[in-house]
Structure 1
Amino acid sequence: MTFPHSFRTLAALVLVVLLAGCATQQPYDYSAFKESNPASILVLPPVNKSPDVKASYSVYSHITLPLSEAGYYVLPVAVVDETFKQNGLMNAEEIRDVSPNKLYEIFAADTVLYIDVTEYGSSYKIISSEVAVTATATLVDLRSGKELWKGVARASSAEQQQNSGGGLAGILVTALVNQVINTLSDRGHEIAGIASQRLLTSNPVNGILPGPRARPISAR
């Protein structure tokens, strides 16, 4: 049996999509990370690339816990932020421009963590309401200037939402109610905590490696 050319082309495209979906994520190269063997991390205020002005410091407030649990000493973020302000650097973009050499001279940390918040807050999409936070992180050795690790994570309120019955009208009402609740309760801060945990919790599969103060696996 001979299939038309258009059918064969469509079948080939479907196969490519299926193979792409089945492809495994390439393992991260941790050679520079292991060579650096960092013990301390300076976290800079995240650069906010979302429309919500709360995004940067909302994410910033959640950063210390997962890194500490991963086994690193994290310089107190409030002290770091105040140090920059005392030196005339008032926003994350200005702070991002400070060279690694200067950061090492001031703070003497092994590494610096750069964070970008690319998505933050709620959106109303006719039949759904979602609060989502997406952040990327890059860890750089302050002594050598080498990039040690890079990661990205996203968290969303939609992960826990289930549409109830009631047809289209019920879905629309539910979406509207969720939107009001999300706005009034600032669920973005809650979701930011989940995204931060996903981004910075020690994870051997392309996540940040355990630090020297990490508890043994048997003790967790």
Structure 2
Amino acid sequence: MKDLLKRALALLAVAGLAAGCAAPPKHVDYAAFKESKPRSILVLPPLNESPDVTATYSMLSQVSYPLAEAGYYVLPVALVDETFRQNGLTTPGDIHAVPPPKLRDIFGADAALYITVTDYGTKYQVVNSATVVSAKAKLVDLRTGGTLWTGAASASNSQSGNAGGGLVGMLVAAAVAQVINSVSDASYSVAGTTSQKLLSAGSPGGILYGPRSARYGAD
């Protein structure tokens, strides 16, 4: 019993050391971003790598706000989506394949934001139920085709099954939480949090403030 306890304490010590030695934030080169000085951003319908078919438009509907708050003019996403449809482009994959100069000719924007949703939905994890939304993004200069910025973010809404009844009670509580999250589409609100984390200016490694922000040029 003592040997088992010692091993457990040793594992906890190693885990604590690993957490304490986390890698510092990755350095981001903003030279191209600052030289480009984009004023308007075209948001393309996100690619969806998750099994949930609602992920693309759930994320698309929530990215304009943080970009506008950051100081950019964002082309209305509904109008952009309809324009693509009228031109026979109905899937994010086809839209992302359009050359940057063509996008600029059609929409007149300075830059385009390419988003990929890598995780979206509620997962049952034995004694808890977690709703996770993860995404990555790339901002591309439509005048040159060069990449100005890349980033990634993830958010979750984990509901632990800490209820009475021991392990059985915890399992039941977790299952109920998963059903509630699925029915109420908890992923939508978590996607909003992910969008904020991914596209808000001023955070380490985040996008720079745009010309409509009072903090423009302060980065």
Q: Check whether TM > 0.5.
A: yes
1:185 matched residue in structure 2: 184
Aligned with 1:157: secondary structure? strand
1:3 matched residue in structure 2: none
Q: Does the Cα contact within 8 Å between 2:200 and 2:206 map onto a contact in 1?
A: yes
Q: Deviations over 1:158-208 (max 9, x none)?
A: 1xx355253312211210110110111011111111111110011241001
Unaligned runs of 5+ in 1: 1-13
2:61 matched residue in structure 1: 61
What is the correspondence of 1:126-165 to structure 2 with a 5 Å cutoff? 126-158=126-158, 161-165=159-163
2:47 matched residue in structure 1: 47
When the two chains are superposed, the root-mean-square deviation of aligned CA atoms in Å is 2.0
Unaligned runs of 5+ in 2: 1-13
Query: 1-side partners of 2:35 and 2:20: how far apart?
Result: 33
Q: Does the Cα contact within 8 Å between 2:131 and 2:156 map onto a contact in 1?
A: yes
Query: 2-side partners of 1:122 and 1:164: how far apart?
Result: 18
Using the TM superposition, give the Cα deviation of residue 40 of structure 1 relative to its aligned residue in structure 2, in angstroms: 0.5
Query: 2-side partners of 1:19 and 1:168: how far apart?
Result: 29
Q: Does the Cα contact within 8 Å between 2:198 and 2:206 map onto a contact in 1?
A: yes
Q: Deviations over 1:81-121 (max 9, x none)?
A: 00000000011111011000100111110000000001001
Q: Does the Cα contact within 8 Å between 2:163 and 2:173 map onto a contact in 1?
A: no
Query: 2-side partners of 1:97 and 1:29: how far apart?
Result: 25
Aligned with 1:22: secondary structure? coil
Aligned with 2:144: secondary structure? coil
Q: TM-score, normalised by structure 2?
A: 0.87
Query: 2-side partners of 1:27 and 1:72: how far apart?
Result: 23
Using the TM superposition, give the Cα deviation of residue 215 of structure 1 relative to its aligned residue in structure 2, in angstroms: 3.2
Give 2:185's aligned amino acid. Answer: D
Query: 2-side partners of 1:47 and 1:169: how far apart?
Result: 39
1:27 matched residue in structure 2: 27
1:79 matched residue in structure 2: 79
Query: 2-side partners of 1:99 and 1:180: how far apart?
Result: 42
1:212 matched residue in structure 2: 211
Query: 1-side partners of 2:66 and 2:157: how far apart?
Result: 20
1:10 matched residue in structure 2: none
Aligned with 2:21: secondary structure? helix
Matched, 1:201 2:200: yes
Q: Does the Cα contact within 8 Å between 2:25 and 2:204 map onto a contact in 1?
A: no
**Cα gap change, 1:20/1:97 in structure 2, threshold over 3 Å: closer, same or farther?**
farther
Give 2:173's aligned amino acid. Answer: T
Aligned with 2:214: secondary structure? coil
Give 1:62's aligned amino acid. Answer: Q
- The count of aligned residue pairs is 202
Using the TM superposition, give the Cα deviation of residue 151 of structure 1 relative to its aligned residue in structure 2, in angstroms: 0.5
1:38 matched residue in structure 2: 38
**Cα gap change, 1:141/1:71 in structure 2, threshold over 3 Å: closer, same or farther?**
same
Q: TM-score, normalised by structure 1?
A: 0.86
**Cα gap change, 1:20/1:103 in structure 2, threshold over 3 Å: closer, same or farther?**
farther
Identical positions, percent: 53
Could you list the structure 1 runs, at least 4 aligned residues long, displaced by more than 6 angstroms after superposition. none
Aligned with 2:62: secondary structure? coil
1:176 matched residue in structure 2: 175
